[in-house]
Structure 1
């Protein structure tokens, strides 16, 4: 450093420039900060949208699980299913009887008593309509989400269907 005759040391300056940032450097710094803030903002918005979609799907899955936990109603079997709204989510349950050969069903169709039952007389005259029989059912549950694809559950359950004798009457 060289000394100024009146005040003391004077900072060294470049080729006639003042110390500090130029206007171009300041504008470039602001542009970089603006671009970075846009990237961060976009990331935050995307993460919030992703979180909302996950929460929506989880709520739809809870609705599907609660519908799956309900017992199969004979009226639903007769009508092939039902639809409605539960907790703000639209759902549809479809039921279809599976025609699988079951040993008890075959014996009952032939008029024999099941082996686990006590003494019975299949031809008693005073019997009311034959009881409903258990049948495997295909159950499809579809719950529509507010964002994205719907939640679908497919399973096989046992349900009571009217016996073939009761249908013939």
Structure 2
């Protein structure tokens, strides 16, 4: 009799275990669904700010590249000849403000004296809208006007 009660209890336990397994594989729990919705809400709230920051970064990079091209164009156009004027100059090109500084390079002049050519420091600065200042520095050989 005890053996029957034990086997009946074991059979009953097996039936309940089967029912629990069948019920637990039927779908998501409410808690799982709430966690998934919470994660999606967090991702969707962070995503727009990341896109805005990326757009600003791309715009700043484009402005810096444009300023660099303007600086090279000014260097090519303003200083294409051999006659250089000591002093400052400025202007606007493609919406970028630029300024140049030309000054004699005394250290090179003393190290390499020449009657025909003189070394000059040439600095071109271009202002980037809402960004850094792009500076291009070089040394040119020329004659002072």
Shorter-chain TM-score bucket reads: 0.5 to 0.7
Q: Which runs of 5+ in 1 are unaligned?
A: 1-11, 106-132, 163-169
Matched, 1:152 2:135: yes
What does the per-residue CA deviation read over 1:88-120, in whole Å, with 9 as the maximum and x for residues that have no partner? 111110000223145541xxxxxxxxxxxxxxx
- Work out the CA distance in 1 between the residues paired with 2:101 and 2:136: 11
Q: Structure 1 residues 95 and 20 mapped into 2: Cα distance closer, same or farther (>3 Å)?
A: closer
Are 1:143 and 1:150, in contact at CA under 8 Å, matched by a contact in 2?
Answer: yes
Aligned to 2:102: 95
Task: Provide the aligned C-alpha RMSD in A.
Answer: 2.8
Aligned to 1:48: 55
Q: Per-residue deviation at 1:87?
A: 0.7
Equivalent position SS for 1:70? helix
TM-score (norm 2): 0.66
- Work out the CA distance in 1 between the residues paired with 2:68 and 2:124: 10
Matched, 1:143 2:126: yes
Are 2:102 and 2:122, in contact at CA under 8 Å, matched by a contact in 1?
Answer: yes
What does the per-residue CA deviation read over 1:112-150, in whole Å, with 9 as the maximum and x for residues that have no partner? xxxxxxxxxxxxxxxxxxxxx642211011111113211
The runs of at least 4 consecutive aligned structure 1 residues that moved more than 6 Å come to 73-76
Question: What does residue range 8-157 of structure 1 map to in structure 2 within 5 Å?
Answer: 22=30, 26-72=33-79, 77-78=85-86, 80-99=87-106, 100-101=109-110, 104-105=114-115, 134-157=117-140
Q: Per-residue deviation at 1:30?
A: 2.6
TM-score (norm 1): 0.58
Which protein is richer in helix relative to its size?
A: 2
Q: Structure 1 residues 13 and 161 mapped into 2: Cα distance closer, same or farther (>3 Å)?
A: closer
Are 1:95 and 1:137, in contact at CA under 8 Å, matched by a contact in 2?
Answer: yes
Q: Structure 1 residues 38 and 76 mapped into 2: Cα distance closer, same or farther (>3 Å)?
A: farther
Q: Which moved more, 1:83-92 or 1:69-78?
A: 69-78
Q: Which runs of 5+ in 2 are unaligned?
A: 1-21
